[in-house]
Amino acid sequence: MLIDICVCTFRRASLADTLRSLGHQVLPDGSDLRIIVADNDEVPSAQELVTRIAQDLPVPVQYVHAPSRNISIARNACLDAATGDLLAFIDDDEVAPPTWIADMHALLASGPYDAVFGPAIAEYPDTAPAWIRQGDYHSNVPTARNRIVQTGHTCNALIQIHAPCFHDQRFLLEKGRTGGEDTEFFFRAWRDGGKFAVSDTAKVFEPVDPSRLGFAWIAKRRFRSGITYGRLERGRLSLIKAAVSLCVTILKIAYCMVRTLIAVFSSNQRNFWLLRAVFHSGVLTSILSVKEQELYG
């Protein structure tokens, strides 16, 4: 059994730590590992780093140049390059413990699952504001709705790439700069019959960039998440239900703003409710079919 681990990268020195952590994986019995790095820069800026780190790793590393500045292009390049039975995704600013793949595989093999997801745990610098630490706004923990896992993220995923639900699936290029392309990809696979699960033990760890420790950055991310969530839901709604959803979303925004005003002197509670309002504003934007803002590239 061959497991391909795919890492999409764009001008990040942290890629070196990611690759070293992948080279120390304790693999399931009877399996081999290969690492695929898809460089999304216009020029092959990561090639030298990948070549240098690969010399010290016990597993083969394949470098793919996948320009430019559209993460969906890089993710699709990984799909094209992968030849294994299983395909894993991890981000280029994350570090995986040695048991990461083994824990993911154990859950995948325990049931009729087409993909499993795990948490990406944020590691905050000492300069992180207390309200961000308490709210843990940078960790990415997949969830289930009514005990059903409908989607996940490529920051921590293991896929049965030959499963019928992933047949001919591609990451949408139009979402490659707005974000949410991975959520949409997996939701589409779930709609095509995919069965997903969440591992509580297969964690990866992400040191948070200090530039992302402000309210504005988190708010942009929440707004985009609201758009993604709203568009996924809207695809399942009739016109009447969409109108009802519009009214409910406006009420949710109003409620969150009232709670924000009530908690104006508490940074933890005030920012929590204000970010909830931002999220629902993203949902409202999706219902009104406003064009998504490009956050990346």
pLDDT digits (tens, 9 = 90+) for 251-279: 999 999 999 999 999 999 999 999 999 99
For residue 235, pLDDT over 80 is answered with no
Same domain, 230 and 111: no
Residue 180 — pLDDT band, cuts 50, 70, 90?
A: confident
Which whole number is the average pLDDT over 138-157?
A: 94
With respect to residue 296, please indicate whether it lies within any of the assigned structural domains: no
Same domain, 68 and 88: yes
With respect to residue 15, please indicate whether it lies within any of the assigned structural domains: yes
List all residues 6 or more positions away from 275 whose beta carbon is below 8 Å from its beta carbon.
135, 137, 218, 219, 222
DSSP result, 128-143: S-HHHHHHTTT-B---
With respect to residue 196, please indicate whether it lies within any of the assigned structural domains: yes
For residue 237, pLDDT over 70 is answered with no
Range of the domain at 282: 215-287
* Structural domain count of the chain: 2
Same domain, 229 and 170: no
Which whole number is the average pLDDT over 51-62?
A: 97
With respect to residue 292, please indicate whether it lies within any of the assigned structural domains: no
End-of-domain residue from the set 212, 233, 264: 212
Same domain, 192 and 229: no
Averaged pLDDT of the chain:
93
Tell me which residue of 181, 281, 171, 270 sits closest to 232, measured CA to CA.
181
Same domain, 264 and 278: yes
Same domain, 75 and 168: yes
End-of-domain residue from the set 212, 238, 268: 212
Which whole number is the average pLDDT over 181-198?
A: 95
Token pair recorded at residue 229: 């969530």
Same domain, 60 and 114: yes
pLDDT at residue 198, as a whole number:
97
Q: Give the residue, 246 or 101, on which the prediction is more confident.
A: 101
Burial of 143 (0-12, 13-18, 19+ CB in 10 A): exposed
Distance (Å, rounded) from C-alpha 264 to C-alpha 261?
5
H-helix segments, the chain: 15-22, 47-54, 71-81, 100-110, 130-135, 181-191, 215-234, 239-262, 267-287
Same domain, 200 and 242: no
Same domain, 71 and 189: yes
pLDDT at residue 126, as a whole number:
94
End-of-domain residue from the set 191, 212, 233: 212
Same domain, 206 and 240: no
Distance (Å, rounded) from C-alpha 74 to C-alpha 57?
23
pLDDT at residue 10, as a whole number:
96
Least confident of 8-12, 64-68, 86-90, 291-295: 291-295
Q: What is the CATH number of the domain that holds 40?
A: 3.90.550.10
pLDDT at residue 238, as a whole number:
66
pLDDT in tens, 98-138: 999 999 999 999 989 999 999 999 999 999 999 999 999 99
Same domain, 226 and 258: yes
With respect to residue 294, please indicate whether it lies within any of the assigned structural domains: no
With respect to residue 183, please indicate whether it lies within any of the assigned structural domains: yes
pTM of the model: 0.89
With respect to residue 293, please indicate whether it lies within any of the assigned structural domains: no
Residue 232 — pLDDT band, cuts 50, 70, 90?
A: confident
pLDDT at residue 54, as a whole number:
97
pLDDT in tens, 26-39: 999 999 999 999 99
Same domain, 143 and 117: yes
